[in-house]
Amino acid sequence: MATTHSSVFTRWALFITVGVMSLLAGCYVGFWGTSSHWSREDAALGEEHVVNYPVNDTYLLTQDALRGDGILYETGPENSLQTLWRNADTKVGFFQNMTGVQPRYRYEIQVTPEDSNKSKIVVNVHTEGIPDNEIADYKASKRFALFGEIDELAAKYPPSPSTPASGGVNFTLLPHEDLKELAKRVTGNEDNWQQIAKDNSLKSPTDVTPFQSIWVARTLLKQAPSTSSRVGSPE
């Protein structure tokens, strides 16, 4: 009788063990089917944004935007920034609960010069424990509108002009206007865009952003500009 009870107990113990192992295996496989970032840091979804500021000013603007959102960060070499880890609001799965993994994310930001008066902001989001199909929700532009806030700050604090202080007029580009169209509007000849580009350290007629201020030499003007179409006064 004792042998029979022992045999039954052994079979039940084996059955329970196999069942539990199968359950855990199912959870493990299911988790890995949705995410490969639970235990290691992984870069994803880099973003870029260009502003009409020198690189040092752009670096400071980026820091101001981060501080405005209460995001803690550390500065690095060559105009780089790294935010501290932040807990994600993604749902934690069964396996993550067992291993104590807390989904989190942070940003690595690099500001690089495009030319003397233009810079590029590159932002990479790094994640841990966030499923692949949710990483896009943690992009800096979507999570806290980083680039929009930088543009707002840039509008409030325009960079110091690098164009000549006299002998011309500053014009604001109209929506969807490039240097050729500006040259035709204010000088009567779109070919003058080349000289305008040279005076403003620009490389092409489309190397501009909406509402950018462009300096035009007085010698190129077809007539005295109206006050409604210019910024500032002729020097």
pLDDT digits (tens, 9 = 90+) for 66-116: 999 999 999 999 999 999 999 998 776 655 555 567 899 999 999 999 877
In the chain, the number of structural domains is: 3
What does the pLDDT average to over 158-183?
A: 82
Q: Is residue 162 part of a domain?
A: no
Q: What is the pLDDT of residue 34?
A: 44
Torsions phi, psi of 114, nearest 5?
Answer: -95, -40
Does residue 92 sit in the same domain as residue 185? no
Residue 18 lies in domain: 1-34
Q: Per-residue confidence at 210, pLDDT binned at 50, 70, 90? A: confident
Q: Is residue 235 part of a domain?
A: no
Q: What is the pLDDT of residue 10?
A: 66
Does residue 21 sit in the same domain as residue 61? no
Domain boundary pick from 130, 156, 182? 156
Does residue 151 sit in the same domain as residue 63? yes
Q: What is the pLDDT of residue 203?
A: 85
Q: Is residue 205 part of a domain?
A: yes
Does residue 1 sit in the same domain as residue 54? no
Looking at 50-54, 160-164, 183-187, which range is the least confident one? Answer: 160-164
Residue 146, number of CB atoms within 10 A of its CB: 23
Q: What is the pLDDT of residue 235?
A: 44
- What is the share, in percent, of the chain residues with pLDDT greater than 70? 69
Q: Per-residue confidence at 18, pLDDT binned at 50, 70, 90? A: low
Sign for the CA dihedral angle at 196, 202, 208, 212 comes to: negative
Q: For residues 138 and 130, is the Cβ–Cβ distance under 8 A?
A: yes
Does residue 132 sit in the same domain as residue 80? yes
Q: What is the pLDDT of residue 74?
A: 96
Does residue 10 sit in the same domain as residue 73? no
Q: Is residue 234 part of a domain?
A: no
Does residue 22 sit in the same domain as residue 83? no
Q: Is residue 161 part of a domain?
A: no
Predicted confidence (pLDDT) per residue in 134-158, tens digit: 899 999 999 999 999 999 988 887 7
Q: Is residue 204 part of a domain?
A: yes
43: exposed, middle or buried (C-beta count within 10 Å: 0-12, 13-18, 19+)? exposed
- pLDDT score of 167 more than 90: no
Q: What is the pLDDT of residue 90?
A: 76
Does residue 70 sit in the same domain as residue 118? yes
Does residue 145 sit in the same domain as residue 49? yes
